[in-house]
Structures are given as structure tokens and as C-alpha cells.
Amino acid sequence: MIIFSVDYGKARTGLAVCDKNEIIATPVGVITEYNMEKLSDKVADSAVEHHAELIVVGLPLNMNGSEGDSAENVRIFSKMLENKTGIEVKLWDERCTTVTAHRYLNMTDTRGKKRKAVVDSVAAVIILEDYLNFRRNNK
């Protein structure tokens, strides 16, 4: 199944997709858009372009598992995305994905503008890899 993942952000939103065999998660890019309606259109177009059969959107939970304003925005965005694409959208706990993405980028010595341009897509890959691992271990 081709699964598409989204790391939603108020300014930059990272995207990733996996292959049909659910083995490799690949970054698709970052969309810079502040308007949620326009962003959902762009993400929906990308998901359809990549033939997504499922969309996983990172849900930003607090460290204690509670939800804040960011989680509410993600829930609204996810509904918009599901309505526009007709593709099932699953929310996935994304705690610490951005921190992990920064660690990966530190290991590759990616700095400055290049780092800012890719960190959100790397976070989307981490969300997708985590979801794929869950699917493999819970069949």
C-alpha cells in the first residue's frame, strides 16, 4: 500500500511517501503555506499525485499525552484533507520527531538554509517510518 505522511506546520509542512511494499519512506518535499485551506489543497494534490492509498498525519501531543492547540489544528487539517482526497487519514503520535530529525541532520552536518528546507520532510519520513514499523509488528 502506498502511504503518504504529513508533518503539519503553521509555516512549513513536510511530506513523505513509501513504496508499494511499505519498505522505504522517501521525503517528497516541504510546502510553505500559512493558509490552512490552501495548504490542504496543495497537500491533497501531492497525495493524489503520489497515488496515496492512506495518509498519515503527525499528531503533536504534549509529552504527557494531552492535546493542545496544535493538535486541534491538525485534527481540523486532517478532516479537510480527507474530505478533499477521499483517502482515509490516520493521526499518528509525532512526539519527538522534529528533535530526531534535527539529530539526523546533525549527523550529516546539514546546516543553515539547507537544514531549514529539509527538516520538515525528514520529520515526515520519521512519522512514516514509525507508522510502517507499527504495521509490520501488528499484523
What is the arithmetic mean of pLDDT over 64-86?
91
Instruction: Please state which CATH number belongs to domain 3-137.
Output: 3.30.420.140
Average pLDDT of the residues in 69-85: 95
Rounded CA separation 39/112 (Å): 25
Residue-range domain boundaries for the chain? 3-137
Global pTM reads 0.86
pLDDT score recorded for residue 58: 94
Task: Name the E strands within the chain.
Answer: 3-7, 12-18, 25-32, 54-59, 89-93
Q: Residue 43's closest CA among 83, 9, 81?
A: 81
Distances (CA, A) of 86 to 44, 70, 119, 134: 9, 24, 28, 24
Per residue in 54-73, pLDDT tens?
999 999 877 787 777 888 99
pLDDT at residue number 101: 58
Is the model more confident about 112 or about 121? 121
